[in-house]
Amino acid sequence: MRNKNNNYLSKRVIPSISIDQMFQKIVPACLILTITILYILFLYRNGSTIWTEHNSFHVQDTISTNIHKDAGQSTVAERELRIQQGIAQEILRFHVIANSDSNEDQALKLKVKDAVTQALKPKLEDANDIADARNMVAEELGNLEELSNNIIKENGFTYTASASIEKGYFPLKVYGDLTLPPGEYEAVRIELGSASGKNWWCIMFPPLCFVDTTYNVIPESSKEELKYVLTEEEYDSLFSEKKDKEKVKVKVSFKLFSWLDKWLED
């Protein structure tokens, strides 16, 4: 039995691999692996997104994809700014800023709001556009201050009110089922005392201040007023449902991997 096994072993052909052949395979593979790791680190540090999809690894040129991503984001931002500026050109906001956030000051703010809106309602009904509304309110600023000061005094407070028409930046605001985008707007401001409390606000022109928003719904008649002065795109942006933020997919192609796969197959 031993002799038979010896004969069998002696007949087996054991392939021999020279050192040169080993280096021809190992050294390029190590070099490619090193380059691959360094390139992945480079992409990671420069903010590129790499992911697998359906068991494939696709990578695109980092610079070109970043350019497309920035361009897409810029386009969205420019569109939103254009819509906001278009809306701002056609509406006049109204803000009553309370002296403080105490219950007493906040209650007084609402009383001033009611008195001012009732005083302006018949006058603004004749306004044909925002220019008319602005001129009418500008003529009434002195009367609005006097009216506000009388209410302040009647309620036992000693501070005074100031009325003005100013432009300023306002954050996103919700009024009924209307969402006004953030940006710069022109507004009638009634400041009570130090004006350091929360404000009550509405849209004075078109006249949305004179409707009941108890149920958080803008009446159709008021929506028609907005449709008259705004473009369709601007109007839709006010009442459209909450949208998901636009997502920009970044795909990167890493041709080195496909070349490496092919080389290993060979």
pLDDT in tens, 43-67: 666 554 444 444 444 444 454 555 4
Residue 35: band (very low, low, confident or very high) from pLDDT cuts 50, 70, 90: confident
Residue 148 has pLDDT above 60, yes or no: yes
Mean pLDDT, to the nearest integer, of 230-251? 59
Q: Are 229 and 91 in contact (CB under 8 A)?
A: yes
Higher-confidence residue: 125 or 142? 142
Q: Give the separation between CA 84 and CA 200, rounded to whole angstroms.
A: 21
Collapsing DSSP to helix, strand or coil, 177 comes out as coil
Quick one: which of 148, 140, 137 has its CA closest to 99?
148
Q: What's the pLDDT at 264? A: 53
- Domain map of the chain by residue range? 90-211
> What is the percent of the chain where pLDDT is above 90?
33
Residue 97 has pLDDT above 90, yes or no: yes
Q: What's the pLDDT at 94? A: 92
Mean pLDDT, to the nearest integer, of 159-188? 89
Structure tokens at 136: 């009418």
pLDDT in tens, 110-127: 999 999 999 998 888 888
Quick one: which of 196, 216, 203, 205 has its CA closest to 109?
196
pLDDT in tens, 177-196: 788 889 999 999 999 999 99
